[in-house]
Structures are given as C-alpha cells and as structure tokens.
Amino acid sequence: MQLSSLELRYLVNHINHIIINGYYVSQITGVTKDTIIIKFHHSTYPEILLIISTKGIWLSKTSFKQIEENVLARNIKKELERSKIISIEQLGSERIIMMKFTHYDNRTRFLICEFFGNGNIILCDESMNIIFLLYPIEVRHRTLRIGMKYVLPPSRGSDIFKISISDIQSNITNENRNLNVARFLGQIFSIPRKFVEEILIRAEVPSKKIGELSERELFTLYNTIRELINEIMNEDMHEPVILFDSNNNPVEVLHKKLFNIGDFITVPSKSFMEGVDKVLSNEIVNAGKKVYTEEIQQKISVFTHDLAEQDKAKQHVLSKSNAIRKLASELMYVSPTSPSEFNSLLKKHSTEIILEKGKKYLNITDEKIPLEENLPKLSSNLFIRAKELERGSEKIDYLRSKILEKIDELKRQTVKMEKNIKTKKHKTKEWFERYRWFFTPEGYLAIGGRDASSNSAIIRKHMTEQDIVFHAEIHGSPFFLIKNLRANLNIHNENQNLIDTAIATVSFSRAWREGLSAADSYWIFPEQVKKGAPTGQFLPKGSFVIEGKRNFIKGMGLKLAIGLSKDQNSFNFICGPQVSIERKSMIYGILLPGGLDPMNAAKKIKTDFIRFLENIKNHAIVEELIIFLKSMPLDDIIRLFPPGKIKIISIEKGGQYEEIFSTYSAVK
C-alpha cells in the first residue's frame, strides 16, 4: 500500500490531535532496516506508539520484535530519546513529513520522512544539516549526504489543498490541452489513480481531453475534487474499509468504499488509522518473514532438487533391475543347443554381446555381465546383478529419507522464525502505572511514590484540592493520594478507602525493609502540604512541610497482596492492600515482610500461580494465562514489590475468579 498526499494529510492531522502537547520520546526500537517504533510518554495521558517507515507514518496498537539489524534506530535513538515532540507537519501537498523535537538543553532535531520512490528517513540538526539518513541520494536535482544541508525535491505539481477553479483553468495550456482528464489531474495535481477514477465517476465527466471540457464541466470537476478532499480530511464522513486480495491478505485501506475497487474483498474497519495499522503492519510482518526465511528457502530448494535427482536415480536403477531380471527369467527356458533362440532373446531385450580385453560380456541397459556358455549359470549371474541393483535402490531410499528429514527440519525452523516475528497488541500504559497504584474498594484511584523523584511528582504534578494525602509516621515513607475522594469523604464511619491507603502507605515505606509488623499512618488535606521550605531551611528532594492537624490511623499491619487481574483484553499483575487487590484479581498471593529476596520471591509467585492454574480443569483461559505468566519478565514483578524481603503466605481465589472462569468456554 502506498499512501497518497491526501491520506498523509489526514494521518498527520490525526496524529497532531493526539500526540502533541507534553509528550516526549521514551523509547525508540527498530523493526526492519527501514522501520522504527517511537514510544511517546506523557505525565497524565496514555503512552502512544508511532510507527515510522518508508511506507508511511501511523499510530499503532501493534508491537514487534526486531527483525533486522537496524542502523536507523541506533542513530535516531542517540539524538531523539528523552526529547519532547514539538510539531508534526506535512510539507505542502508533498509526500514529506517533518517532525520537530527539542531537548531540555534546547537542542533541536528534525526528523524528515519521505514517502515517494523507495522512501527515505533523514535526521537533521537545528540548521537542517543532515546528521543521518537511511539512503544517500545523488540525482540531477539534489544530493543528500551526511553533513550536507537537507534540500527539498522539486515540486511535483500544484498544491492540491489550495486548489481553486482558476488553478485548473490556468494549468490548461497548449502543451497539455490534448491530455485526457485523468492524466491531466495526475500530472498537474499529483492525485493518485484511485481518486482520479472516483472523481471522474462522481463528476460524470466524459472520458475526453481536458481542453474539450466546457466551463460547466470544469466547475463540476473542481467541486468534486474539493468534495473528495473534504471527505478524506473529515473523520465524521469516513466509512473506512480494508481491501483483501484472493489470498486473504490486507492490501489497502480506503476512507470509504470507492466506486471502482476491482475484485477486492472489502471488510469494514473501525477507523482509517486502524486500517492503515492493519495493512502496513501486515506488510512489515511479511517483509520480516521474507528476511528470516529467504536463506532457509534457498536450502530447501537445493534439497528439493537433490530429492528429485534421487527419485530419478531410483527409477533408473529399478528400470535396469527389472530389465535384467526379465532377461534372466526368460533365459532359463532357452535351449542350450539353440544359438538362434538365444540370439533372438538377446535382440528382444536390446542386449548385445561385446568384447573387452579379450572377454565377452552381455551389455543390457549399460550393465556388463560376463558371458557364460552355461545358460543356467548366466541366468543366475543376471539375477545376482538385479539383486545388487535393488540393494542400491534401498540405499537411495535411505538417502532420500535423510533429505526429507532435513527439509522437514528446515520447515520447522521457518515456522519457528515466523512465530518469532508475529505481532502482539501493545498494552497502552496509563499515566499512573509509573507510580505505586491500586483502586480502593469503592473504585477511587490511589497513587504513591516509589522514590524521592516520584514522591515529588505525586505532590507537584498530580495533587489537586479534591484529593486526600497520606504519609506514614516513619522516615522513608512514600506520599499517597486518593484521587477525588474529598467531596465524598465520610470520616465518622470506618472508611475502607482510608484504611487500605493507610496500609499501602506503611507497607511501601521503610518499615517493610526493617521487618516491622505494624506502623502508624496519617492523612491530611492538600492545602496542608507546603511545597517550599521555610525561610532559611532546606528540604531534600521528595520532602514537604506538613502544617495543621494530622488524622492518624494507627497500628496498620504491614500486609500486601499481589494479584493476577484481567482488564479488557489483557492480563496484568497488580499489588496493593489485600482487600483492594482481592476484589480486582482472578487469583492473588498474600505478602508479608521477611523471607525471600525479591528475585526469588518473583520466581516463586510465578511458579505458585502456574501450579494453582494447572489444577483448574477444562477452561480455555487457563493455557492462555499460563503462557502469559511464563512470558512475564521477573523485573516487572519485582517492580511491584515493596522494598525488602518478601514472604508469600498463600495463593487464593480473587473476586474476578468466578466471573472469568464462568465466562470462558471449556477446552474442546
């Protein structure tokens, strides 16, 4: 699929609407040699994956393993990681996108993506000098190399987004007035063929020369072009479809079903962007399969050729054996006293007598058998030679089986490699997942700091006047917030929201590392937290001054739970107070201070959860959960733990257990 300038403009507008204002580059990974994925992070909005390829630029929900060595990603990563994205724009109506990034030290970088020809990706500094480019260019109109200034290619026609009726009229000259309408639109305005055909059908413009159109027909043509542009740019007017070929491969996505789409099968898409993701991601996967399996396919071809040669050899040997055996059988009935009968038999079987080094031989199918006057003995020798050839055929069968084994092994390698590059849906992380977090029994979000930096961010960036603030009465405590609880706070009754957050605050504090069994916590209102130090004093990073009354919740036991939860279409580990985690988990483990170091505790959690699931029979989800657990990196589990050693008490069923395991069908 090749994106047109019209479709690129829509994609850029859509990306601009989502990705700008506070997003920064958190990670850059390579996929193929000409494709990278940029992960954007924001302090309050979900992560975003942007795929940039020589094929196009689009937002994706798909993540890939690296398929090829990627020099592009390595060079861009050095210059763009941790930078903030400032703008994304299309240059006129050209198929060129320019992205602007700035670093905290005000360094500016431009990433330019060209989507015509074979495509190109170019990284420039603030003076537009080329730092890196995927493909050096040296043509008549421009030269692009590292160290040189970036130069735009010559314009490919009038700007389609600024088209007016006078543009159409003024571009009709003596030189081109004899062009047919379709060719004129493609040449002057660089409109792709699929849209040109749509415009001609909608405008009901006859298939004739542009110079022959009446003024009314020119106005109709102009209005139809503007109508199509507006339709592509306006998402509310989209009815996107994906075109599939006869092999069920997605080959193109359209903003809506056009009049002339050929023999393609059309399937609706949720959005044009998702359609682009499906089609172009599929092209990346297929390119990866080709890279991975090309060498293996060449080896399979060689072995297949060898197999064919072995089959030919076997047929040739069996043909000789059958011919010799037939002659031997008939020779047993020839009279020893009738030379003429003997000669007739030889002639019948295309056999001749030859003389070599003074000895006579029967030459049958190029096999030389010593001639014996004793016909029974000659017949016996022929049978012996036939058996020898048949034994040779058995050897050929053995060699053939070995070749088949090698081919099967190579095919297994191909399947394994293709599995390695299969895509998976990227789970978009919420902004709060960088902190300690859980949802209280009544559904309020509680977030807490992991260290001094995140403690500071919790208070400075995320605290609002509607929140409740928690801290433990111990040095080395995180700050926790219960978001938006203040308006519904009831302090006269036992409040599980407050109790759970108090437990989390003391459990994620230094009290856990020191092996305490209980500690005190307190809550306050946001206006009691002073972000600046008193005059003449200094506050360490992550520390704040607390003023006014502290509402203590004393003797909170240090006890947490880690659970396996299902959220929409993905599985997650969550960690927090037992009451909150139990309600949101399929299964969970109870944690106390002491016992195993974090690495061994993480291993034990995985092992215990898998054993628990293996005892659940006849549910399709079990295998899926076990695969998820086995693939879960230990570091991701360790990150959830409180600081210090972990004692795992038991594995229990959670609140999601019945719901999940009754929803999923039994294994067939």
Parse the chain into domains and list their residue ranges: 5-144, 160-237, 299-415, 430-558, 560-668
Closest to 510 measured CA to CA, from 484, 476, 461: 476
The strand order across the sheet containing 646-653 reads: 570-576, 560-567, 587-596, 646-653
Strand residue runs (E) in 517-645: 518-524, 529-530, 545-546, 551-557, 560-567, 570-576, 587-596
Q: Take residue 208 and report the two structure tokens written for it.
A: 């004739």
Q: At residue 486, what is the residue type? A: R
- Using pLDDT thresholds of 50, 70 and 90, give the confidence band for residue 306: confident
The least confident of 83-87, 308-312, 536-540, 572-576 is 536-540
Asked if domains 5-144 and 160-237 share a fold, the reply is no
In three-state secondary structure terms, 59 is strand
- Reply yes or no on whether the pLDDT at 658 is more than 60: yes
Average of per-residue pLDDT across 130-151: 94
Can you give the pLDDT at residue 46? 80
Percent of the chain with pLDDT over 90: 47
Can you give the pLDDT at residue 87? 93
Can you give the pLDDT at residue 663? 55
Q: How far apart are CA 80 and CA 107, in angstroms?
A: 10
Terminal-residue alpha carbon distance, the chain = 39
- Reply yes or no on whether the pLDDT at 667 is more than 50: no
Average of per-residue pLDDT across 453-476: 92
Can you give the pLDDT at residue 514? 93
Can you give the pLDDT at residue 521? 96
In three-state secondary structure terms, 188 is helix
Q: Which residues contact 138 (CB under 8 A, 6 or more apart)?
A: 144, 145
- Partnered with residue 52 across adjacent β-strands are 36, 57
Closest to 232 measured CA to CA, from 181, 189, 273: 273
Q: Each residue of 146-183: pLDDT tens digit?
A: 999 999 998 877 888 988 999 899 889 888 899 888 88
- Reply yes or no on whether the pLDDT at 568 is more than 70: no
CATH architecture of 5-144: Roll (2.30)
Can you give the pLDDT at residue 494? 64
- Using pLDDT thresholds of 50, 70 and 90, give the confidence band for residue 634: confident
Average of per-residue pLDDT values in the chain: 88
Write out the CATH class of domain 160-237.
mainly alpha
Is the pLDDT higher at 647 or at 627?
Answer: 647
- Reply yes or no on whether the pLDDT at 636 is more than 80: yes
- Using pLDDT thresholds of 50, 70 and 90, give the confidence band for residue 668: very low
Average of per-residue pLDDT across 555-567: 92
- Reply yes or no on whether the pLDDT at 307 is more than 90: no
Contact (Cβ atoms closer than 8 angstroms) between residue 267 and residue 252: no
Percent of the chain with pLDDT over 70: 93
Cβ burial, residue 400 (10 Å; 0-12/13-18/19+): middle
Can you give the pLDDT at residue 666? 41
Average of per-residue pLDDT across 178-192: 88
Q: Each residue of 493-535: pLDDT tens digit?
A: 568 999 999 999 999 999 999 999 999 999 999 999 988 777 6
Say which residue the tokens 């106390």 belong to: 592
- Using pLDDT thresholds of 50, 70 and 90, give the confidence band for residue 662: low
Q: At what angle do helices 272-331 and 375-420 cross, to 10 degrees?
A: 170
User: How many residues make up the chain in this entry?
Assistant: 668
Can you give the pLDDT at residue 251? 92
Q: At residue 414, what is the residue type? A: T
- Using pLDDT thresholds of 50, 70 and 90, give the confidence band for residue 472: very high
Q: How far apart are CA 25 and CA 41, in angstroms?
A: 6
Q: Take residue 94 and report the two structure tokens written for it.
A: 């050209």
Q: At residue 267, what is the residue type? A: V
- Reply yes or no on whether the pLDDT at 426 is more than 70: no
Closest to 28 measured CA to CA, from 70, 88, 90: 70
Q: How far apart are CA 199 and CA 226, in angstroms?
A: 10
Can you give the pLDDT at residue 337? 75
Q: Each residue of 371-408: pLDDT tens digit?
A: 888 888 988 988 998 898 888 888 888 888 888 888 88
The least confident of 15-19, 29-33, 203-207 is 203-207
- Using pLDDT thresholds of 50, 70 and 90, give the confidence band for residue 419: low
The least confident of 60-64, 370-374, 516-520, 577-581 is 60-64
Average of per-residue pLDDT across 90-112: 94
Closest to 150 measured CA to CA, from 129, 179, 121: 129
Can you give the pLDDT at residue 392? 83
- Reply yes or no on whether the pLDDT at 665 is more than 60: no
**CA-to-CA dists, residue 177 to 172, 205, 208, angstroms:** 6, 16, 10
Contact (Cβ atoms closer than 8 angstroms) between residue 606 and residue 628: no
Can you give the pLDDT at residue 625? 86
Counting runs of H as helices and runs of E as strands, what totals does the chain give?
17, 31
The DSSP string of 83-144 is: PEEEEEEE-TTSSEEEEEEE-TT--EEEEEEE-STT-EEEEE-TT-BEEEESS-EE-SS-EE
The least confident of 52-61, 157-166, 221-230, 502-511 is 157-166
Buried-state track 360-383, b at ≥16 Cβ within 10 A, e below 16: ebbbbbebebeeeeeeeebbebbb
Average of per-residue pLDDT across 89-102: 94
Contact (Cβ atoms closer than 8 angstroms) between residue 64 and residue 85: no
Most confident of 195-209, 282-296, 342-356, 640-654: 640-654
CA atoms within 13 A on the CB side of 645: 9
Can you give the pLDDT at residue 620? 67
Is the pLDDT higher at 397 or at 6?
Answer: 6
